Amino acid sequence: MQSDCSTTRERHAMKKPQDILTAPHEELEAIQLEGVKKTIINCYENVPFYHNLYDEAGFDPYSVKSLADLAKAPFTTKQDLRDNYPFKMFAVPNEDIREIHMSSGTTGIATVGGYTEHDLDIWGDCFARGVWYADGGPTDIMHVCYGYGLFTGGLGAHYGGVKAGCTTIPMSAGNTERQIRVMREMGSTILCCTPSYAMHLADTAIAMGIDPKKDFKLRAGIHGAEAFSDNFRRDLEKKLGYKVLDVYGLTETMGPGVAIECMEQNGLHLAEDHFYAEIIDPKTGEVLPDGEWGELVITTVDREATPVVRYRTRDITRILPGECACGRTHRRIDRLHGRTDDMLIIRGVNVFPSQIEDVMKTFDQVSSWYQIELTRKGHLDVVTLKLEPNPDFDFDEVRAIEQLQHDIQARLKSALSVGIRVRIVEPRSIPRSEGKAVRVIDKRGDDQ
């Protein structure tokens, strides 16, 4: 017999894993309130950053009685996490940490996510929902070619595949022709990778004389880590003959699985028993009602190692009103509409222009004038960094220019984990402006 003193979450844990996906929203809100209250107190008592933040803001962490009260708490930002690199945001001792992931970034400015056994279990459960949303399970073969390592994509998808009972193939990234052979020979049914790499797989297979719709057994793809248009989705589905589901997540809150589309393709279902989402006006910080576009703010409900309260993601979306036709009750966010900062997402890797500039500054042969151009070659992102040489550099010395370009490219690759093409251009050929310099020119959407 169920004890009256048991918590809402404990009662939920006794149910089948997928029952929570159709639970009454009142039950989800009860789980969220219980978890949010514990998270705020946990952060205050175990993370010095939050203790100081709340004291300075005059926020009483013990005063939260409703989800609406959360709006009284101050925000957490990416810079806060960077300033407390590497372990100062941890709410548990290091001996309780079983895994660490990091966002992209040069040493000292990355954000770190820690995971206890409990956190890893949550992560697997959240991504497994993507498999369930794709009507998948133990009869599926899940092909994971997100990168494995500090990037959360590979292992997040992997844990989800295992949790959902799939036969999971940890291919990781690269070696495209081998990826294609394995998908064909092993009959992969669910593909997990960035959307641009999925398109690259499709185009390469076709160039090899393979008809993906006939020779592959794919029926669903769970694709995230970079934005993609509806036209791109339709083209990808046409080539591979499957359904494309968008997945959202970020290292600071867990990784992929915070929200995932179902087969209705009408918004991404938030894992509301693990995350509480708000949409705010990015200028005023005021909470906006469902249906209005704004910045997504996330509070973790039950994360142990690195909980966050009111984390500003900088991603622009909205909470879609009403319930999904699939019958699942978790609220949905719309597909991302952009960002409030200058972060670039290149082949699934987060890159800030300031990081590129930091690498540039280590070469005294180039000036401070630069421009980043984003284009597409086929369906893969191409980043070109245009640099002007300093006046004392001999621009007519071809070998010296080629060597300098090679050296800068190598250092960028090492620092940012993404390939960037470097071009040394003629002095004063980069446009000047009386106002703010145009550092980034994004041409990737010109053909979509």
Two tokens at 51?
């203790």
Which of these three, 290, 307, 340, is where a domain ends? 340
Which residues, given as ranges, of the chain have pLDDT below 70?
A: 1-6, 8-16, 104-108, 432-437, 446-448
* Domain end marker among 322, 340, 358: 340
Single out the residue in 282, 307, 340 at which a domain terminates: 340
Answer whether residue 216 is part of any domain. yes
Q: Are residues 225 and 83 part of one domain?
A: yes
Domain match, 379 and 307 both: no
* Residue 365 in domain: yes
> Residue 333's beta-bridge partner residues?
268, 319
| 361 CB-contact burial (10 Å; exposed 0-12 / middle 13-18 / buried 19+) | exposed
- Are 134 and 220 in contact by the 8 Å Cβ rule? The answer is yes
Q: How many whole angstroms separate alpha carbon 109 and alpha carbon 104?
A: 9
Give dist(CA 110, CA 321) in Å, integer: 35
Range of the domain at 260: 1-340
DSSP 19: G
State residue 360's pLDDT score: 86
Take residue 217 and report the two structure tokens written for it: 């057994």
One domain for residues 197 and 52: yes
Tens of pLDDT, residue by residue over 260-296, are 999 999 999 999 999 999 999 999 999 999 999 999 9
pLDDT at residue 15 in the model: 57
Q: Do 202 and 240 share a structural domain? A: yes
Gap between the Cα atoms of 241 and 13, Å rounded: 37
Question: pTM here?
Answer: 0.81
Q: Is the peptide bond before 86 cis (omega within 30 degrees of 0)?
A: yes
Q: Render pLDDT for 203-261 as a digit per residue (tens, 0 to 9).
A: 889 999 999 999 999 999 999 988 777 878 998 999 999 999 999 999 999 999 999 99
Contact between residue 266 and residue 325 where contact means Cβ atoms under 8 Å apart: yes
CB 276 within 8 A of CB 70: yes
Location of structure tokens 């708000």: 278
Instruction: Specify the CATH number for the domain of residue 428.
Output: 3.30.300.30
Of 220, 225, 221, residue with least CA distance to 248: 225
Number of domains in the chain: 2
